[in-house]
Chain A
Amino acid sequence: AQSVTQLDSHVSVSEGTPVLLRCNYSSSYSPSLFWYVQHPNKGLQLLLKYTSAATLVKGINGFEAEFKKSETSFHLTKPSAHMSDAAEYFCVVSPNNNDMRFGAGTRLTVKP
């Protein structure tokens, strides 16, 4: 079965410090992996996606993620947090092109 585990339900950082949101996946095949962000009362927005090309994926708003097959991980990072980054983040695995399995989400809080 395909699934993702977001290791932290809540992460709190200070503005200007690095962000690390952790995600592990399980998949029988080489999956596609995504990170989405959800701001309050807004739709889900795609941050970045991995689809078997370069293992280091750069996304919008300075975020990036590295696909590590040996560790079955796809952690999301950003060098310097901004107040506007405060939101819910979802790691998603897709074993094929028609099915997506969302993680439970990580709420990011950014302190001034």
Chain B
Amino acid sequence: EAGVAQSPRYKIIEKRQSVAFWCNPISGHATLYWYQQILGQGPKLLIQFQNNGVVDDSQLPKDRFSAERLKGVDSTLKIQPAKLEDSAVYLCASSPPGAGVNEQFFGPGTRLTVL
């Protein structure tokens, strides 16, 4: 079974630029999560989708971050404009229908460096 795919794996941009990350969850997984992991900290949930609807985006900085999952499969996370403090690893995870966080599979992450 293929795992959660993310691209790019690494990205370096200058502050005030825009950046987008892509996630392809495991086939059949209805729930998709985006996490931000700042160096030295545990991951923090940014947004959770159930199919193509948003379940929780309470910790998403909506002035600069946006995410979508238009067809209920792939998802993109965008930052516009980026700030220095956005430097982090962005993790995508997915879980099967009904499993919630009890059965969550993580991708390898995208490491963002903002200069």
Contact = CB atoms under 8 A, between A and B. Distances in A.
Contacts of A36: 106
Interface string A10-52: 0000000000000000000000100010000111111001010
Give the bracket for the number of chain A residues in contact with chain B. Answer: 20 to 34
Contacts of B3: 43
A102 B56 contact: no
B107 A43 contact: yes
B101 A32 contact: yes
A100 B41 contact: no
Contacts of B42: 90, 92, 102-105
Contacts of A41: 108
Main secondary structure of the interface of A (DSSP, over half): loop
Contacts of A42: 108
Contacts of A94: 101-102
B96 interface: no
Contacts of B44: 102
A75 B93 CA distance: 25
Contacts of A105: 40-42
26 contacts: A32-B101, A42-B108, A43-B107, A43-B108, A44-B43, A44-B91, A49-B102, A51-B102, A90-B43, A92-B42, A94-B101, A96-B100, A97-B102, A98-B48, A98-B55, A98-B100, A98-B101, A99-B45, A99-B101, A100-B101, A102-B42, A102-B43, A102-B44, A104-B40, A104-B42, A105-B42
